[in-house]
Structure formats: C-alpha cells, structure tokens
C-alpha cells in the first residue's frame, strides 16, 4: 500500500519532542508521551506531558496576558487576529490534515478538506463577533438613577478537548473564547495533541500576544484534573465521556468556576414508512459510519418501520460491505480509517460480541480487519432489542444497530428512553410529523431528513446526561462572557 509522503513541515514537526506551549516558549517536562499512529500501532511523535506545576505556569501566563496586551486590545484588533488565524489555517490545511491523519487515523482527504477547512470557518465566523459584544441601557423604575450593563470576558478559560475531531473540537471552543476576550489554557487529548500544538505556534506567528493560548498535553488524571481544580481558572469547557464529565464537575467546585459540558450520546435515527429511502438509507448509514462511528452524535440506533425493516437492514449491510478502509495517510482516498487505539478497538469488538451473544444478527462486519493497526470492519446488527447493552451504551465505533418499530408514539418513547440527549432525528415526508418530532424528541439537536449538519452560527449542545451549555453561535459568546450591572446616581 502506497502512503503519502508527509509535508516537510510535518516531518520536521514529528522529528522533535514537542514541548508544552506556555506563553511564547516551548517547555519540556520530566515525562514524555508517545503519540501512536493508530493506522500502524506505532509511535509517530513524542510530546511533553504537563503536570500540576506546569498547569499552574500556563494559568499564570494566561492571567498575565489577560491583564496585559490582550485585555487592553480593541475589539476590532481581536477580530482581525482571529481573521488572520483563519487565513493561516486555510493556507496550511494540508499540514493540519496530515497531523490529524497521523495521530487520529482519519483519511487525509477528510482531515484536510473537511475538518481543517471547517475549523478555519469557525475562527472566521467568530472574527466578526468582538465588535458586536455590547451591553445595554435599562430604563429602571428608580427615580434619578441610570442602569447599564457591561459584557466582559469570563477570564482564564480551561478547555479540554477530545480525540475524535482533534482540530475541529478545539476550534468549536477556542474561537468563541478568544472572540469574547478570554485567554485560554487548552488540554487536548493525549492521544491527538499534534494539531493543537501546531495551532499554538500559528497563533503566535499571526500576532496573538504570548499567553493568550497555552497548550498543555497530558493525561486526564494529571493535567486534566489539575486544570479542572485550579482556582485561577474562571471557566472550564469539556467535551468527552459522561463519566469523565462528572469528574470534571466534581473537581471544579473549589472556586465554583462555571462549567460547560458536551458529553456522550446514543442518538436515535428513525425511518418512517413514508420516508424517501434513496435519501434515508444513505443518510442513516453515514449518520453512524461518518468519522468511523467515533462521534457523540452518531445515529447509533436506526429505528426502521417494520414494513421497511428487512429491506433497509439489507441495504445498510451492503453499503457497509462496500466501504474502503485503510491508513489515514494512504494515497488511496479510503472511506474510513482505524479506531483511535487498541483499548478502543477491544471495547468496540466487545460490544459487538455482547450484542451477538444477546441475540443480535450480524449482517456485516463484526470483527477486526487486518493484523496491523486498529481497524474494525463496519458492522451492521439487526434483531437488536432496546434492552441489549449494545443498544443502550455508547460504543463510539463503527457499529450500527437496526431496530423495528410499528407506531409513531411507540418509537418516540423508545428513542427518548436513554440517559443521553445530544442528538436525534428521522426521515419522513409528513410535515406535521416533522414538527411533532422536533417538539417530542429529547435532544439538543434534531435532524429531520438530514443528519450531522452543523454551522458556526447554529448552537449545539446536549440535554440530560449529554451535558449542558451551548457551543457555536451567539450562545457560545454568552457562554464565555459575564454581565456586569452598573448603577449611576
């Protein structure tokens, strides 16, 4: 199999032990982390790992920038810097794409043409916000008094991002945090830290003051826990599992910092008997297999009307069998890459085996693919029941469960019968039904006759144990801001 030769800047980046980015310095530490290429199960790079002392140094650098050049910068100039960063990301989309393809394993054409490009769009959208953040004058009832509000940055923000979209998830959080005037300490996943480190260098290159963006890779139990507990952090934003989210909240109570969480999901995707199957079947397929099933919004539970169930399940299985799978840096433009790690591969295979043991029928996939790397064959299971573990728990891998239903009320109740509430949706030609679905489905995002669409201007977030707070759009600016009430007499 032919592989793409890495860009010279990527090769140089990988050849060095990458230090923490604190202020304008690369800081080495006593511990070094091997970054594994999941396509080949071998180290691709090494990065320094932050401990509590280095988290403290990063918070200090962020606080100094907030009270110094960044805090005194005009809104117009902040917006200009964000615009320049978007320009630079677009110009170097190949580098971002290759780094993601190497440490995450996703196909290069996806990492470069989708993730990197959409990340730049987030910075460009939020570049327009700094000059539009404004307070208001309130006509109060107290004689001889004037009242107005000031909207100010929260302060130092700790951002903890996941491995499934290494560049894009950073952009979702970092762009509004900077637009609102905050400074940031970013802890990317220890599995995929490369693009975050590269982005920190790029931010300095385009003119961001030192300390505005600090990047501190490390293990969650060390660096993540220290960031969550640090009393110098004013706000914490986390994307990851529900279990880890609970620990983040527990660790943040020391100074009662504000917390926003985007957690797990087990989305229901409903195909009604009047659906346009030529749209619904590919839509339901990519709702799960997009990003190899490694998405919190993956449409993992495909509820199909009983009259269509067998046809839909068979067509989904045929599509799964036709997918091309290979290394992220392969010359061939594969559909999917590996899952992120060996423990994740073992976990996914364990769920598949559990489902089959409970009575599910495997129509496609169901096993490890190849001996090198962490590849799992795209899997379609039918005869799945709601009470099965494979239908209840988040798998985070290429496993699609197909379940039959008979009535609308029944399937809505079943779709909502989950601890999660991040996304849900379905396929129907009935306009009245689409409106009922938008009201009755218990999830932060509802997709009807489509799946997976997001936009920097549209809010995104969860309900129930999928978290709270909204990223993107005007809601994200509010998430990273605080309002001060001022009275004059």
Active site residues: 262
Task: Please enumerate in sequence order all residues whose Cβ is within 8 A of that of 355, keeping only pairs 6 or more positions apart, or say none.
Answer: 362, 381, 384, 388, 389, 390, 391, 399, 401
CA atoms within 13 A on the CB side of 84: 13
CA 154-18-53 angle, to 5 degrees, is: 50
Per 3-state DSSP, the chain is made up of helix, strand and coil in percentages (nearest 5) of: 40, 20, 35
Question: How many whole angstroms separate alpha carbon 99 and alpha carbon 13?
Answer: 9
Which residue from 209, 210, 201, 259 is spatially nearest to 230, judged by alpha carbons? Answer: 259
The beta strand positions in 340-474, using DSSP E, are 361-364, 379-382, 399-405, 420-421, 423-427, 445-448, 463-464, 467-468
Question: How many whole angstroms separate alpha carbon 166 and alpha carbon 193?
Answer: 7
CA 90 to chain centre: 20
Query: 337 near 109, Cβ under 8 Å?
Result: no
* DSSP secondary structure of 319-353: HHHT--B--TTBSS--SB---S-HHHHHHHHHHHH
Question: How many whole angstroms separate alpha carbon 49 and alpha carbon 17?
Answer: 11
* DSSP secondary structure of 77-130: HHHHHHHHHHHHHHHTHHHHHHHHHHHT---HHHIIIIIIHHHHHHHHHHTTSG
Q: Cβ atoms within 10 A of the Cβ of 8, count?
A: 9
Question: What is the 8-class DSSP label of residue 408?
Answer: H
- Token pair, residue 46, equals 């090494």
Q: Cβ atoms within 10 A of the Cβ of 69, count?
A: 14
CA atoms within 13 A on the CB side of 5: 1
Using the structure block, give the residue that is written with the tokens 């130092």: 156
Question: How many whole angstroms separate alpha carbon 337 and alpha carbon 111?
Answer: 11
Dihedral pair phi/psi, residue 314, rounded to 5°: -65, -40
Bridge partner residues of 299 (DSSP): none
């Amino acid at each position: 199999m032919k592989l793409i030769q890495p860009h010279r800047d990527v090769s140089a980046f990988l050849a060095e032990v990458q230090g923490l980015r604190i202020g304008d310095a690369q800081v080495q530490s006593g511990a070094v982390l091997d970054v594994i290429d999941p396509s080949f199960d071998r180290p691709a790079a090494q990065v320094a790992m932050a401990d509590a002392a280095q988290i403290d140094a990063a918070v200090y650098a962020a606080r100094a920038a907030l009270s110094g050049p960044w805090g005194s910068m005009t809104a117009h100039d902040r917006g200009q810097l964000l615009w320049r960063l978007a320009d630079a990301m677009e110009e170097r989309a190949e580098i971002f794409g290759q780094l993601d393809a190497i440490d995450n394993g996703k196909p290069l054409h996806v990492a470069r043409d989708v993730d990197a490009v959409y990340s730049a769009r987030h910075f460009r959208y939020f570049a327009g916000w700094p000059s539009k953040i404004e307070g208001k004058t309130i006509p109060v009832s107290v004689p001889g008094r004037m009242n107005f509000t000031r909207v100010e940055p929260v302060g130092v923000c700790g951002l903890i991002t996941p491995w499934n979209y290494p560049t894009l998830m950073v952009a979702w959080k970092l762009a509004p945090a900077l637009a609102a005037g905050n400074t940031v300490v970013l802890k990317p996943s220890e599995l995929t830290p490369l693009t975050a480190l590269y982005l920190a260098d790029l931010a300095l290159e385009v003119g961001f003051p030192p300390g505005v963006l600090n990047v501190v890779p490390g293990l969650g139990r060390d660096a993540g826990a220290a960031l969550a507990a640090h009393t110098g952090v004013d706000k914490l934003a986390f994307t990851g599992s529900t279990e880890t989210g609970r620990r983040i909240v527990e660790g943040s109570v020391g100074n009662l910092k504000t917390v926003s969480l985007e957690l797990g999901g087990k989305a229901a995707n409903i195909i009604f008997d009047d659906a346009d199957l030529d749209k619904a079947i590919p839509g339901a397929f990519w709702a799960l297999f997009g990003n190899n099933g490694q998405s919190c919004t993956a449409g993992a539970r495909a509820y199909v009307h009983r009259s269509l169930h067998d046809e839909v399940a068979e067509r989904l299985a045929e599509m799964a069998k036709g997918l091309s799978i290979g290394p992220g840096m392969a010359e061939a433009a594969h559909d999917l890459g590996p899952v992120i790690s060996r423990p994740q591969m073992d976990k996914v295979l364990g769920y598949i085996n559990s489902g089959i043991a409970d009575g599910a029928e495997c129509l496609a996939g169901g096993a490890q693919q190849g001996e090198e790397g962490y590849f799992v064959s795209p899997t379609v299971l039918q005869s799945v029941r709601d009470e099965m573990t494979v239908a209840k728990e988040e798998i985070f891998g290429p496993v699609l469960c197909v379940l039959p239903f008979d009535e609308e009320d029944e399937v809505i109740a079943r779709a909502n019968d989950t601890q999660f509430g991040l996304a849900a949706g379905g396929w129907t030609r009935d306009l009245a039904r689409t409106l009922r679905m938008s009201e009755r489905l218990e999830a932060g995002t509802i997709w009807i006759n489509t799946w997976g669409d997001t936009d920097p201007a549209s809010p995104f977030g969860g309900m129930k144990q999928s978290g709270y707070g909204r990223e993107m759009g005007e809601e994200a600016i509010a998430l990273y801001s605080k309002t001060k009430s001022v009275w004059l007499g």
